[in-house]
Amino acid sequence: MKRIEREKVIRNAYRSTILALTACCIFLGTVLVIHETAREYEVKVLEKELEAKGVVQNDEGLFSSVQMFLPKEIYVASGVTLELYNDQVSSLGTRIRNYNVKWTCAVGRNMQRKFSVTGREELIGTYPLIFTIFDDNGAQVAKVSTELKIVPASKESFSLLTIGDSLSCNTATYERLNELTDGQIVYMGTRGVGGSLTEARRGFSAADYLSGTGYTMEEPEEEVHPFYKEETGTFDWGYYKETTGFEPDAVEIFLGTNGLAADPVENGDNIIRIVKNIHENDKELPIYLVHTLYPANQDGIGSWSSKEGYALYGDRYKYEEDQKVFDLMIYLEETLKNEKQLYFVPAGICHDSAHNFDTEMVPVNPHSEETMEVPVDAVHPGRAGYRQIADCLYSVICGTRTEWERNR
């Protein structure tokens, strides 16, 4: 009898132990689930915070403060040499020179500060193009890729109307376009640059085109620009066509420098409003949206002054100005990525801002006979710069013209 009772006590103790262990496992499992859920929540919060700061993940899942940008396609017309500059395809700006970088492509040249490719008939086709940044240990920091499309040259006539600021007011751009097309472009507009008609106005921003702004910097002066319709109080493409009689085959918009700010939204949204208004009135009209240029180096930014000697960019510095251009480019590309009949022209990354600004020789200090080169203008390049812009625009037109002609 005692043996039976003892076995009963042992069995009860065993059951109690099993129940206790089971309860502990359930409790620990619950704690682990709660902990994992909390950890996942913290990770999501961190990711959102990093994303809000412009921090992105690279291919290895490691967080990096480097943002990268290349357009979905890069067009190079046969007969044109196009270049992509390392400093201008990432948020690092000139600081990218502290890293190791490479361009990977079956064509073109992977050079120290740029990728250079010349369009040739025998190379016509599409090629993957990859840009990679490495640290000093050889670890990948960031990578971005695109499709490089070498396309046939186009010599067929078409009409073009340019809406722009002072970067559209240099004759070198139009001279180069005429060279490339054998003079087949018919330019339209109420103003003139050399022998080419445009709608380019020095000092104008997208905001100026959206409001009743006058123009007095050049002859003929205007009480208000011709896109402004008083009844609606804003830019009106239909009104412009009706009053001028112009019906271009394509429109170029080259704005952004005037109105640049640390936050790209206001300036970007004003440019977007112009694009949207044109397409509301003219759905199938192709628009070539040119990204604005990176400024000259710090010597150019700091030395640029008015005729009276007042500093024009007295409180600005190179990295900050580069970031404004980069952020505006990203904002426009992302916001307008689904806009049909819109083609981005990547002039911002294809213009040699390190060497294209005209310079002058100045003493390295007030009492030295030694001199150094300093850009005389921080925003407007020399002749070579405007020709590079023309090469970029022409290449995109050659690569996309068949598409928009088919859609019209």
What confidence tens digit (pLDDT) does each residue in 208-263 have?
A: 999 999 999 999 999 999 999 999 999 999 999 999 999 999 999 999 999 999 99
Specify the higher pLDDT residue, 201 or 306. Answer: 201
The answer to whether residues 378 and 293 touch, using CB atoms and an 8 Å cutoff, is: no
Predicted local distance difference test score (pLDDT) of residue 19: 57
Least trusted range by pLDDT, from 105-119, 156-170, 293-307: 293-307
Its pTM stands at 0.83
Residue 116: which H helix or E strand, with range? strand 114-118
Average pLDDT over residues 1-20: 55
Q: Is it the case that residue 15 has pLDDT exceeding 80? A: no
Predicted local distance difference test score (pLDDT) of residue 167: 98
Burial 127-141 (b: 16+ CB within 10 A, else e): bebebbbeeeeeeeb
Specify the higher pLDDT residue, 253 or 65. Answer: 253
Specify the higher pLDDT residue, 284 or 306. Answer: 284
Specify the higher pLDDT residue, 404 or 82. Answer: 82
| Strand ranges for 201-309 from DSSP E | 228-229, 234-235, 250-254, 287-290
Q: Is it the case that residue 62 has pLDDT exceeding 80? A: no
Q: Which amino acid is at 262?
A: A
Predicted local distance difference test score (pLDDT) of residue 47: 45
